[in-house]
Amino acid sequence: MDCGACAAKVRGAVERLPGVEDVDVALMAERLRLTLNESQTSPERIEKAVRGVGFGIAPKGAKPEKPKGGFVLPDGAFPGAEDTPEPEEEGPAQPEEAAAPSWHRTSKGRLVIGTGVLLATAWTSRLLFPAEFAHWAFVLATLIGLVPVARRAFAMTRAGMPFTIEMLMTIAAGGALVIGEPEEAALVVFLFAVGELLEGVSAGKARDSIRALSKLVPKTARLEVGGKTLEVPAEKLRVGQVVQVRPGDRVPCDGEVIEGTSGVDESPVTGESVPSLKEPGAEVFAGSINAEALLRVRVTKAAEDNTIARIVRLVAEAESARAPTERFIDRFSRVYMPAVVGAALLVAVAPPLAFGLEWGEWIYRALALLLIGCPCALVISVPASITSALSTGARNGLLMKGGAVIEAAARTTHVAFDKTGTLTHGKPRVTDVAALTGDADDMLSLAAGVESGASHPLGQAICAEADRRGVHAAATGGRALPGKGAEASIDGATVCVGSPRLAAERGALTDGLRSRVAALEAEGKTVVIVLRDDVPQGLVALRDEPRADAADAVAQLRGLGISSVMLTGDNARTAQAIADGLGIEHRAELMPEDKVTAIRDLTTDARVMMIGDGINDAPALAAAHVGVAMGSGTDVALETADAAILRNRVTDAAGQIRLARAAMANIRQNIAIALGLKAVFLVTTVLGITGLWIAILADTGATVLVTMNALRLLFFRPAGPAEVTAPFTDPTSDATRDSASAPT
Q: What's the pLDDT at 194?
A: 74
Specify the pLDDT at position 344. 83
Digit-coded pLDDT (tens) for 631-688 = 754 555 456 578 888 778 899 999 999 999 999 999 999 989 888 888 888 888 788 8
CB < 8 Å & 24+ apart, contacts of 188-191: 188/371, 188/692, 188/693, 188/695, 188/696, 189/115, 189/141, 189/142, 189/145, 189/146, 189/149, 190/112, 190/115, 190/116, 190/119, 190/145, 191/693, 191/696, 191/697, 191/700
Answer with the residue of higher pLDDT: 738 or 567. Answer: 567
Of residues 63, 59, 65, the one with CA closest to residue 80: 59
Query: What's the pTM?
Result: 0.64
For the purposes of burial, counting CB atoms within 10 Å of the CB of 472, is it exposed (0-12), middle (13-18) or buried (19 or more)? middle
- Per residue in 53-89, pLDDT (tens digit) is 888 888 876 666 755 433 343 433 333 333 333 333 3
CATH 3.10.20.30 fits 429-543, yes or no: no
Q: How far is CA 223 from the centre of its chain?
A: 31
Give, to the nearest 10 degrees, the angle between helix 376-395 and helix 692-711: 20
Strand, coil or helix: what is 418? strand
Q: Give the pLDDT confidence of 699-729 residue by residue, as tens digits.
A: 777 877 887 898 899 889 998 655 543 333 3
Residues pairing with 424 in the sheet: 546
DSSP H or E stretch at residue 203? helix 182-214
For the chain, the structural domain boundaries read 4-48, 103-217, 220-305, 429-543
Strand partners, 528: 540
SS3 278: strand
Lowest-pLDDT choice from 144-148, 218-222, 466-470: 144-148
Could you give the 3-state DSSP secondary structure of residue 494? strand
Q: What is the DSSP string of 539-577?
A: EEEEE-PBPTTHHHHHHHHHHTT-EEEEE-SS-HHHHHH
pLDDT of 323 reads 56
C-alpha to C-alpha distance for 419 and 587, rounded to whole angstroms = 10
Specify the pLDDT at position 425: 82
Burial class from Cβ neighbours inside 10 Å (0-12, 13-18, 19+) for residue 44 reads exposed
Q: Residue 300: CB partners within 8 Å, gap ≥ 6?
A: 239, 253, 254, 255, 256, 283
Q: What's the start-to-end Cα distance of the chain, in Å?
A: 45
Residue 205 is predicted with a pLDDT of 63
Residue 494 makes CB contacts below 8 A (sequence gap 6+) with 487, 488, 532, 533, 534
Q: Which of 380-384, 620-624, 661-665 has the lowest mean pLDDT?
A: 380-384
Per-residue pLDDT tens for 629-645?
887 545 554 565 788 88
Exposure class string for 581-607: b at 16+ Cβ within 10 A, else e? ebebebbbebeeeebbebbeebbeeeb
Give me the mean pLDDT over the 472-478 stretch: 87
CATH of 220-305, one of 3.50.50.60, 3.30.950.10, 2.102.10.10, 2.70.150.10: 2.70.150.10
- The residues assigned a catalytic role are 418
Helix axes 182-214, 692-711, angle to 10 degrees: 10
CATH code linked to domain 4-48? 3.30.70.100
